[in-house]
Amino acid sequence: MTIEAICVLRDNKSNIQGKITFTQESEDAAVNVSAHLTGLAPGKHGFHIHEYGDNSNGCLSAGAHYNPHKKTHGCPTSLDRHVGDLGNIVADAEGVATLHHKDEHNLLKLIGPYSVIGRTIVVHKDEDDLGTGANEDSLKTGNAGDRLACGVIGISNPAK
């Protein structure tokens, strides 16, 4: 049974918008993430799943990075990281960014008790240092800076 999820990003204060899709074949399978965003400043931007699907106060009410296993912040290819650590998304000179990522460590889930469905994806202003900075914020947030745009992950409509 394949599960598909989608997150539509829009920000009323800027031109940032886009779509992130997730697929998982079974509870034990890796999740594939694909993203296409526009309206970003050129360069790297931190890209994370946050703990709440609450955007009532913009991206601020989404909480911290989704971290049910109480790990420190890290890169998306590391086993020792927050579940929500997706690393950076890189925008080209026109502000367009694409990402294709497979969670090889199977920390990211659409099925089961640690599902990310109903949580928020946030795009940050700055580059994520992947937990390698020499300060406390690096181990929590990757020093990724302000929250630019966000959206809630939901189950995809199979009839799309």
Residues annotated as catalytic are 48, 50, 65, 73, 82, 85, 124, 147
Give the whole-angstrom CA distance, residue 34 versus residue 113.
23
E strand spans, 11-159:
17-24, 32-38, 43-50, 56-59, 85-91, 97-102, 120-124, 147-155
Per-state percent for the chain, helix, strand, coil, to nearest 5: 5, 40, 55
Kindly state the DSSP code that residue 157 receives in the 8-state scheme: P
With beta carbons less than 8 A apart as the criterion, state whether 9 and 37 touch. Answer: yes
Give the residue among 149, 88, 90 at the shortest CA–CA distance from 121. Answer: 149
At residue 47, the 3 state secondary structure works out as strand
